[in-house]
Amino acid sequence: MDVRRLVQLVDNAFPKSISTKQGITLERKIYIIGDSENNSLLSDQNNNSNDDEIYWYFKDRKNPTVENIIKTQIFQLIDENLGKLYKKKSKKIYENDLDWSINKREEMFTSNMIYITYWDCKQNSVALFLSILSCEETYILENNDQGEVLYLYEIHITKEYQRQGIGERLIKDYLIEKLIKPLKIERQDNNFIGLELTVFSENNDAQNFYFNKIQMQYTFGSPRDEIINVMKRITRSFDEKLGEHCEDNKLPSLNDKKKQLYRKSIRKPEYYILVFPV
């Protein structure tokens, strides 16, 4: 999708400011990672749009201020909320031995990535942000080999403003209702599927949020839990204990042993891929 049009839709979908339960007003700023092609198309914007709250970063004409905000404040929020999990999973996710922060910072400057941030202006800090990218994905739905999605790369809120319903509002009211659904109508084709994202299998709070609050579902090609039978270690005490439950306290038969030798265990993947089709 044309990133210029997507930025216009984002600008219309997300309010200029939102309020917290503490009575703090958070002000919106949007940052877009452009490439050299976008640079030529948008040269009249001179790294900023006509809107003072929308900023462009071009890879061949860098904006040091935007670069610093993404590498420090936005990255810091990711680190505070998910840094430990990224560090643990980095090798399998990125398929290299580099530190997760190097991989993540490189990913954060993917061409056409859009950051919707809300600032605590009194503290001059990013209070929350979402990063989204329009892209093609495969095996989203059962009868769909490939389609276009709006991928939610990250959504993070500072601890001060968590558990106030802000995340649900951002995704349900703005991202889905005011951006993705109108985008589906505008596209007028079946190639645009909806919202997609990745969630760590160990992040139970996030899974509960996406499944129960947002009503998302696994993509057709998402990794799933695998139920496996794990064999127990056989010891003399195992035979004796099992024999206590057998008739006349006889030694357990082979069938009795087979029933007790295995326990079911769940092997979780590193992550799941979820979708909200529209």
pLDDT score recorded for residue 242:
54
- Output the pLDDT for position 43: 45
Q: At the top level of CATH, which class does the domain 3-223+269-277 belong to? A: alpha beta
Which residues of the chain fall short of a pLDDT of 50?
38, 40, 43-50
Q: pLDDT of 66-93, one tens digit each?
A: 999 999 999 999 999 999 999 999 999 9
Q: What is the pLDDT of residue 241?
A: 56
Question: Mapped to the 3 state alphabet, what secondary structure does the chain carry?
Answer: CCHHHHHHHHHHHCCCEEECCCCCEEEEEEEEEECHHHHHHCHHHCCECCCCCEEEEECCECCHHHHHHHHHHHHHHHHHHHHHHHHHHHHHHHCCCCCHHHHHHHHHCCCCCEEEEEEECCCCEEEEEEEEEEEEEEEEECCEEEEEEEEEEEEEECHHHCCCCHHHHHHHHHHHHHHHHHHHHHHCCCCEEEEEEEEECCCHHHHHHHHHHCCCEECCCCCCCEEEEEECCCCHHHHHHHHCCCHHHCCCCHHHHHHHHEEEEEECCCEEEEEEEC
Q: What is the pLDDT of residue 276?
A: 98
- Domain locations in the chain as residue ranges: 3-223+269-277, 226-267
Residue 143: per-residue pLDDT: 84
pLDDT tens string 110-160: 999 999 999 999 999 999 999 999 999 999 999 878 999 999 999 999 999
In this predicted structure, what is the pLDDT of residue 256? Answer: 60
In this prediction, residue 251 carries a pLDDT of: 57
